[in-house]
Chain A
Amino acid sequence: MQELKLFLGPQHPGMHGNASVHMFVEGDIIKRSYLLPGMLHRGFEKGMERHTWLNNIGLIPRVCVVEPDINEMCFAQGVETLLGIEVPERAHWIRMIILELARLSIHMMAYGGIGGPTGLYTLMYHAHADRNDILNIFEKITGHRVYHMYIVPGGVRKDLPVGIEKDIHQFLDSLESRYAEYRDLGIDNPTVRARTVDTIMLPESVVWELGVTGIGMRSAVGKEYDVRKVMPYARYDQVEFTVPTNTYSDANNRIDCKLQEILQSISIIRQCLAKMPEGPVRVPLGRGQSMRWTVPKGYAYSVVESSRGEFGYFMVSNGGTHPYRVGVRGASYPQGLLGIEKYLPGTRIDDAALWVDTMGVCSPEIDR
């Protein structure tokens, strides 16, 4: 046997989240590899069948840990589609603010996250310091730092607190003023460029073969393939933003897209704060006791653009008080499982952690 077996995760500093990449290595080139998922399997899809429609609000943020608001939005949209109700206007805008703040938070975390595999810890510390401000804003809005349970079917849980606009503006301004610094420290840093330029490629053919979405797809295909643009939900069709794209998808360009999206999100939040109308933020889904609310029979697939791509909930109702079946399409499912099996081989063990990181593999949404 000429091969050596190395592991990236679950208990490894290079792996974010609890999953394991098994790598068969010759010299320092990976010859075969696969992901061993399931270490975060909680039986979500089964668990959702066992909770009522409203009880599920407490469960769904926990599907994907780093990005809980996407799940809430996805679930809320699906229920609204099944029910055929329309959400109040203000709720749409608040949802957009929350979603974009969440996107900022995860992008800051992911951008700081390249500090891990490349060893640039200063970047990580700075990015996390700024992300903590976002969490504080969330705490002011929703009462919780991470699992907000704020976007609920029918709107949002309650209105924005008074004076939060000032906090948000202040944070956005400070982040925008530090944007150039982040670029200098991160992707324009010569040592980071040495690690990321022209490595960890994702060609367009691979994108279509695997079904990669999100930044990975857009940086390879060069078109604005973003759910917010292609099939706008909430009020994304009423704000102006561009989706950063590229036709040469190496690690550096993918991180670059991520950084540009930060600027776009800042602009979207500002537009939302300016355009947001007054009014109610929530409509009830039914009458009577909320635990007995039912949802009409039907199938719905609800999609939201997460930071890693198309995030979807496939929901089936049989007309009862509980969802009949909820299937979760994790955005990183294709690159996480099939991508690691087919396209991680050939890279070097130095790059494995960076591969997993820049492809945006998130284990909780794979395992569920």
Chain B
Amino acid sequence: MKSTKFSELSQEQVDRKWWEIGDFFRRNSLWMLMYCTGCCAIELPPAMTSAYDMERLGMGPMATPRQADILLVSGYLSLKTLRRLIYTYEQMSEPKYVVGLGSCTINGGIYHDSHAVINQLDQYVPVDVYVAGCMPNTEAVMNGFVDLMDAIKHKTANGWKKYRDNYDWYRQNQIASLGEVEVHDEFHE
């Protein structure tokens, strides 16, 4: 039988144990950012409120990116939104997860040929869970969240690490599509 004496564990193992304990808390208390980027956000109120009651999974809407764990990309992303989404994503505190709702985040969906809407979200920010559909049912949205919890449990939801490690690649893609990520114009003195 393996000894569980604390002193015999290496620093790495201790860290992993702590991380697993942290994962338990993280997956049971996922706070999502209240950012309705697109039309799939219309299925979120039923998910949040009485009909499906997201709070029983420990999830709740949060006001600011600093407090939130999940960035919910609800649907298509116009260029203008994508800039703000990246800015918001970088403000979130780690570990952070991204859930892409709707087919627009996967391949552009019905707006695949639009001049204003991007086609593939994971070129710009790493996505942990996709929920397909246009728009996905509330059940599908809830299922996506459960999938995310499973992914956290199995340590596969590490998009934030990917973003940190491959920051240059993501940045390059962002600049290629957006020109400048943080705009200076008359709206932003």
Contacts and interface: CB of A to CB of B under 8 A. Distances in A.
Contact of A132 (B42, B51, B135): B51
Interface string A134-162: 01000000000111000000000000000
Contact of B43 (A16, A43, A146, A367): A146
A42 B51 contact: no
B39 A13 contact: no
A208 interface: no
B153 interface: no
B36 A17 contact: yes
A235 interface: no
Interface stretch (B10-18, B75-83, B120-128, B158-166): B75-83
Given A22-B187, A145-B43, A10 B34 contact: no
Interface residues of B, number: 38
A327 interface: no
A38 interface: yes
Interface in A56-112: 58-59, 62, 65-66, 109
Interface of A: 5, 10-13, 16-18, 22, 36, 38-43, 46-47, 50, 58-59, 62, 65-66, 109, 124-126, 128-129, 131-132, 135, 145-147, 364, 367
A136 B64 CA distance: 32
B115 A135 contact: no
A13 B46 contact: no
A39 to B, nearest CB: 5
A145 B137 contact: yes
A13 B63 CA distance: 6
B116 A42 contact: yes
A13 B61 contact: yes
A5 to B, nearest CB: 8
B110 interface: yes
